[in-house]
Amino acid sequence: MGIGLLMRAAVFLDRDGVLNLPVIREGKPYPPASVEELEIVPEAPEALAALREAGFVLIMVTNQPDVARGRKDREVVEAINGRLRDELGLDAVYVCYHDDVDDCACRKPKSGMMTEAARTLDLDLSSSFMVGDRWRDIEAGHAARCRTVFIDYGYAEALTVAPDKTVRSLKDALTWILSVSSF
């Protein structure tokens, strides 16, 4: 990275609950079991198109611990991610396949996926945003020094840190991001 090179801002987006509809069991969100079960959030294509037009790099960052737990094949997760990438025009996809016991740097609430994306794609994290629907997303955004947007679906779990903005939908997140972005 040379002096004078302009770094870009990104919008990091969680997968399940932000880009696709989760399966809710006992008040908690779970990922779809297959590509056939995948339902993209209806407002996602339009919201992401507006963010792209505003100049943001669009990056999905997702924890998929069911692979480490032996509950899901990696190929299924990659097929779901591929469909989301293709249909939503994502610039990059970062996935953590580990579980908490692995203590890796990439699993949210750690910021490893975001900092790796920043290094690889020349991103300015302080001008970037993390959009998520779980406490892990907001903590990861804080750890990466991004502004955070929490989509509150009323899940049966609490936030551990305060987001910069709480909204009710991806469309509301887009509206706020565009209103506070500096470019």
Active-site annotation holder among 14, 66, 133, 137: 14
Q: Are 57 and 94 in contact (CB under 8 A)?
A: no
| CB atoms near residue 123 (< 10 Å) | 24
- Phi/psi at 11 (5° precision): -115, 115
The DSSP-derived string for 126-161 is GG-EEEESSHHHHHHHHHTT-EEEEE----SS--SS
Active-site annotation holder among 16, 66, 133, 137: 16
Told to judge if 100 belongs to the known catalytic residues of this protein, a careful annotator would answer no
Q: Which helix (H) or strand (E) holds 73?
A: none
Question: Whose structure tokens read 């669009």?
Answer: 58
Closest CA to 79 of 10, 20, 11, 13: 20
Q: Are 132 and 14 in contact (CB under 8 A)?
A: yes
Told to judge if 103 belongs to the known catalytic residues of this protein, a careful annotator would answer no
Q: Which residues are catalytic?
A: 14, 16
